[in-house]
Amino acid sequence: MTGLRFMLLGQRWVLTNRRWFGFGLLPALITLVIYAAALILLARWADDIITWATPFADDWSDLSRTVVRVLFAALLIGGALLTAVLTFTAVTLLVGDPFYEKLSERVERAEGGPGESAPGVPWWTEVADSVRVLLRWAVFGVPLFFLGFVPLLGQTVVPAVGVAVTGFFLTIELTSVPMARRGLRLRDRMLFFRQHPALALGFGVPLALLFLIPLAAVVLMPGAVAGATLLSRHDAAPYRALNRPPL
DSSP-derived secondary structure for 28-65? HHHHHHHHHHHHHHHHHHHHHHHHHH-GGGTTS-HHHH
pLDDT at 164 (0 to 100): 92
pTM of the model: 0.77
What is the per-residue burial (b if ≥16 Cβ within 10 Å, else e) of 14-35? beebeebbebbbebbebbbeeb
Q: What angle do CA 125, 13, 186 make, to 5 degrees?
A: 20
What is the per-residue burial (b if ≥16 Cβ within 10 Å, else e) of 140-155? bbeebbeeeeeeeeee
pLDDT at 226 (0 to 100): 94
pLDDT at 118 (0 to 100): 52
The answer to whether 233 and 114 are in contact (CB under 8 A) is no
The answer to whether 226 and 175 are in contact (CB under 8 A) is no
Low-confidence ranges of the chain (pLDDT < 70): 1, 113-124, 126, 235-247
The pair phi, psi for residue 4, each rounded to 5°, is: -60, -40
